[in-house]
Amino acid sequence: MSQALKGIRIIDMTHNQAGPACAQILGFLGADVIKLEEPKGGDVARTNMRDKPDSDSLFFLILNANKRSVTLNLKTEDGKALFRRLIAESDVLLENFGPGALDRLGLGYDSLSKLNPRLIYATIKGFGTYGPYSGYKSFEPIAQAMGGAMAVTGFPENPPTYVFPAIGDSGTGMHMAIGILAALQQRHTSGKGQHVEVSMQDAVVNLIRVSLRDHQRFGHPPPRTGNQLGHTVPGTTYACAPGGPNDYVYIFAQPQMWKPLIGAMGQPELADDPRFATPDSRWQNRHALNAIVEEWTRQRTKHEVMQVLGEAGVPSGACQDTGEVLADPHLRARDMIVDVDFPTRGIYQTVGCPIKLSDSPAEITRPPLLGEHTDDVLAAICRVEEAELQRLHQAGVV
């Protein structure tokens, strides 16, 4: 079965997380993603937090499935020439180098768009290519801090808190994937490519926009509220049996779910308690109500609570740790947790494609070894002959 992005070739020059996450999701959707790396060492993520000395790190592996790897030394004239030949035959270039890095090599947008007017030149930067902060570098926590996410995360008595899900890195990558798809669609009518840019700060601001609404409603920065969501009660985490560090369940019962909740708890008489008669009174007496709910949840495991409330139509979720996520039968059934066999590691678990297309289901293929596809790609796309390939290897160009 043909995949949605079959025939689209993407040159992925990115490293770490934001860019690789973007390229991987497009690879899941069928694009031919060619990961371009330095001959010596490749993407720094290959050795980042390496747990096996003879294998690429799991950090690299979970971000680089469905790609081919080509090594190319862009500091050589031969390397630049081959790069330009690749670009001439590609649809998208994705890069997240420091500000001005590719321009200094003569490989910026102005230069490459003349070589290939249909090229989508996709740039991920911490703060973008213009604006007062455009010369600054960034990483995930910096993007969260500058995007406002940390100031609204955590408990009121604690400092601003870093959110571990990578909204600055992978969140930026998903925004970029949308931008690339939009540019490819526009190319159908315009006949030409364009420069697509996403900054990490911009992506984080987009994800916290509801908090910006609250600032304008109340006239001051919204306070950190921990796990409490708005004024809905119950609307937080509750401890469960047997009392481990992650034995909690999140319950969110909107007003129309109040009676189903207390019915599922076996305490329908709470409907007649004046302290809990209205949403406002439940908020005013939230500490007493939360204590009643938690007394009930402590007698059950988090998954038991979730099942009882789920069957009653009350939204709730077990606070699953990473081991539980990897073993979750629902995620396994949806191919969101999949097993992959890597040559130097064996079987490991990774995340599948969250986008389910009925006519082109994603097939997860293992990440590439460093330079695994160099000769095949240069021969097929750049028409480099065998003798020339040998010379390029000997010269350290590939």
Q: Which two tokens stand for residue 267?
A: 């305490």
Kindly provide the residue ranges of all beta strands, DSSP E only, lying in the chain, ordered along the sequence: 9-12, 32-37, 68-71, 92-95, 120-125, 195-199, 235-239, 248-252, 316-318, 337-342, 346-351
Q: How far apart are CA 124 and CA 111, in angstroms?
A: 18
Question: Parallel, antiparallel, or unpaired: how do β-strands 68-71 and 32-37 relate?
Answer: parallel
Q: Identify the CA nearest to 124 among candidates 87, 80, 178.
A: 178
* Sign of the alpha-carbon torsion through 347, 349, 353, 356: positive
- Can you say whether the dihedral through the CA atoms of 217, 218, 224, 227 is positive or negative? negative
Structure tokens of 314? 């009350």
For residues 61-97, one letter each, b for 16 or more C-beta atoms within 10 angstroms of the residue's C-beta and e for the rest, the string is bbbbbbbbbbbbbbeeebbbebbbbbbeebbbbbbbb
Question: What is the phi/psi pair of residue 123, to 5°?
Answer: -120, 125
Structure-token pair, residue 42: 């490749």
- Active-site annotation holder among 56, 169, 202, 247: 169
Q: Is 169 a catalytic residue?
A: yes
What are the tokens at 145?
A: 């801090």
Alpha-carbon span 352 to 28, nearest angstrom: 8
What are the tokens at 232? 């809905």
CA distance 271 to 269: 5
SS3 313: coil
- Comparing CA positions, the residue from 81, 79, 82, 129 lying closest to residue 103 is 129
Q: In the structure encoding, which two tokens stand for residue 236, read together? A: 């937080």
**Catalytic sites, residue numbers:** 169
